[in-house]
């Protein structure tokens, strides 16, 4: 497009070129040639210079004004009227579509008027390849094409910005997923390590039992390290059976009686992973906050959805007190198309029930 800025130089020389083609002498080149050169330079700056926004509009209007001056000069060659195509193109790129079309209509009107004045004053409206009418048509077509291409350019720029925003949001979502997975994986293991440390401190005089507790701590630390590595590699997909076994170990280590009823049958891998994550988060909350003596887990399915229910007999809580702790779990369940229900009893009576319901046909969203 920058090279097109040189084309206006041909317009004031069109009549001289015609004379040469017809075997005549090279006619004189008037002052309008200088304006053609300036319009060409303006066009080059428009395409190649570091300008945008209002600066581009200013250059387009300046090119139109200089073209009008060049076409109005006495003795201007007929080819100078082709110069109107260039401010028409610049306006098409510098303005929004509707405004550009209105400006183009005004530009064509001015160009037609200057051409009509030339004819009325006895001037030649033609050039080598174009009559006066054809020149007006060329200007209109060039301007309309510029409006279309300019809008395409703006649309492409908007698409590039949208693509960049989508990529940024994808990175943010991946960071959120990573943080959530890291929390879900390490929360229960680290909580269990704290329980083990408390037990080890209490039985330290009992050398044999203290040694066993420290062995468990070493094993849990290795599990936590493996979990971190698996999250970093996005390999982790917990299974329901492993989480049930882990929940039993964790709750019994914390002195909480554990019972489980599993009647859901085989589940799709993605749905099973979501149920397993939910079980892990629920059991972690029981260990951290409930001070319960018993915890029961029921997993059922009816062909349309699978339901997980975790109930304890702890101290209970008001909904507002526990909502923040379940935010991560709620986000994961909603991402899988399911819903999270909580049923806390009054603190005076104790007990807390958490239910997760997931549709079987929505497992592909997990």
pLDDT tens figures, 266-280 = 888 888 888 988 898
Overall average pLDDT of the 163-169 stretch: 81
Which of residues 252 and 200 earns the better pLDDT score?
252
105: left (phi over 0), alpha (psi -120 to 50) or beta: alpha
How many Cα atoms within 13 Å fall on the side-chain side of residue 57?
7
The first and second tokens of residue 66, run together, are 């200089």
- Is residue 140 scored above 80 in pLDDT? yes
- CA-based radius of gyration for the chain: 39
> Cβ of 10: how many Cβ atoms within 10 Å?
14
Cα separation of 317 and 345, whole Å? 7
User: Within a 10 A sphere around the Cβ of 270, how many other Cβ atoms?
Assistant: 15
Label residues 223-238 b or e (16+ Cβ within 10 Å = b).
Answer: bbeebeeebeeeebeb
Q: Select the highest-mean-pLDDT range: 14-18, 78-82, 140-144, 196-200.
A: 140-144
- Of 200-214, 283-297, 324-338, give the range with the top mean pLDDT: 283-297
Which has more pLDDT, 227 or 150? 150
Q: Work out the average pLDDT over 311-331.
A: 70
For the cut 70, the answer to whether the pLDDT of residue 10 exceeds it is no
pLDDT tier at 128 (50, 70, 90 boundaries)?
A: very low
pLDDT at 106 over 90: no
Identify the three-state secondary structure at position 258. strand
What contacts 24+ positions apart, CB below 8 Å, involve 127-130? 127/14, 127/15, 127/18, 127/77, 127/78, 127/79, 127/81, 127/82, 128/14, 128/15, 128/17, 128/18, 128/21, 128/79, 130/82
- Domain 257-366 sits in CATH at 3.30.565.10
Return the pLDDT at 73.
Answer: 73
pLDDT at position 147 over 90: no
Residue given tokens 């001070």 in the structure block? 291
**Three-state secondary structure along 82-107?**
HHHHHHHHHHHHHCCHHHHHHHHHHH
Q: What percent of the chain has pLDDT over 90?
A: 7
* Residue that wins the pLDDT comparison between 62 and 191: 62
Q: Mean of the pLDDT values across residues 290-298?
A: 89
pLDDT at 6: 54
User: Is the CB of residue 82 less than 8 Å from the CB of residue 138?
Assistant: yes
Q: Of the ranges 91-95, 205-209, 257-261, 358-362, which one carries the lowest mean pLDDT score?
A: 205-209
Residue 67 scores a pLDDT above 70: yes
| Domain positions in the chain | 3-164, 257-366
The segment with the largest mean pLDDT, out of 6-15, 63-72, 330-339, is 330-339
* Average pLDDT for 289-309: 89
Phi/psi at 108 (nearest 5 deg)?
-65, -40
Q: Is the pLDDT of residue 298 over 90?
A: yes
Rounded Cα gap, residues 277 and 329, in angstroms: 8
**What is the arrangement of strands in the sheet containing 339-344, beginning at the earlier edge strand?**
257-263, 294-301, 305-312, 352-359, 339-344
pLDDT value of residue 306: 93
Q: What is the pLDDT of residue 208?
A: 67
Closest CA to 243 of 229, 256, 262, 226: 262
Query: For position 228, what pLDDT does the model report?
Result: 66
pLDDT score of 295: 92
How confident is the model over 167-223, as pLDDT tens digits? Answer: 877 877 777 777 777 766 666 667 677 777 777 667 666 666 667 767 777 777 777
- Strand spans (E) along 86-177: none
Q: How far is it, in rounded angstroms, from Cα 271 to Cα 323?
A: 23
Q: What is the pTM of this model?
A: 0.42
| Mean predicted lDDT score pLDDT of the chain | 75
| Position 102 confidence tier, pLDDT thresholds 50, 70, 90 | confident
């Amino acid at each position: 497009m920058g090279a097109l800025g040189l084309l206006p130089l041909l317009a004031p020389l069109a009549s001289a070129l015609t004379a040469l083609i017809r075997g005549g002498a090279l006619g004189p080149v008037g002052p309008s040639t200088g304006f053609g050169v300036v319009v060409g330079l303006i066009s080059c700056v428009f395409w190649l210079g570091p300008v945008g926004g209002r600066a581009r509009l200013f250059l387009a209007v300046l090119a139109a004004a200089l073209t009008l001056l060049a076409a109005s000069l006495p003795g201007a060659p007929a080819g100078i009227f082709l110069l109107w195509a260039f401010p028409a193109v610049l306006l098409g790129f510098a303005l929004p579509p509707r405004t550009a079309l209105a400006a183009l209509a005004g530009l064509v009107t001015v160009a037609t008027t200057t051409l009509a004045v030339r004819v009325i004053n006895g001037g030649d409206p033609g050039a080598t390849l174009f009559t006066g009418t054809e020149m007006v048509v060329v200007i209109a077509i060039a301007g309309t094409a510029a409006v279309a291409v300019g809008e395409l350019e703006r649309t492409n720029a908007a698409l590039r910005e949208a693509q960049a925003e989508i990529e940024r949001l994808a990175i943010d979502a991946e960071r959120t997923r990573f943080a959530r997975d890291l929390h879900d994986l390490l929360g229960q293991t680290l909580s269990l390590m704290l329980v083990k440390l408390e037990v080890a401190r209490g039985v330290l005089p009992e050398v044999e039992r203290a040694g066993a507790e420290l062995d468990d701590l070493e094993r849990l630390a290795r599990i936590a390290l493996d979990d971190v590595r698996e999250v970093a590699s996005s390999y982790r997909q917990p299974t329901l059976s492993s989480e049930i076994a882990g929940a039993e170990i964790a709750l019994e280590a914390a002195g909480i009686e554990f019972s489980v009823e599993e009647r859901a049958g085989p589940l799709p891998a993605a749905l099973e992973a979501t149920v397993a994550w939910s079980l892990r988060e629920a059991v972690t909350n029981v260990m951290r906050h409930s001070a319960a003596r018993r915890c029961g887990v029921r997993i059922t399915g009816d062909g349309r959805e699978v339901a997980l229910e975790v109930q304890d007999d702890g101290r209970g809580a008001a909904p507002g007190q526990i909502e923040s702790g379940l935010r991560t779990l709620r986000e994961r369940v909603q991402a899988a198309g399911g819903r999270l229900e909580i049923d806390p009893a009054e603190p005076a009576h104790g007990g807390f029930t958490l239910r997760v319901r997931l549709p079987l046909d929505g497992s592909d969203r997990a």
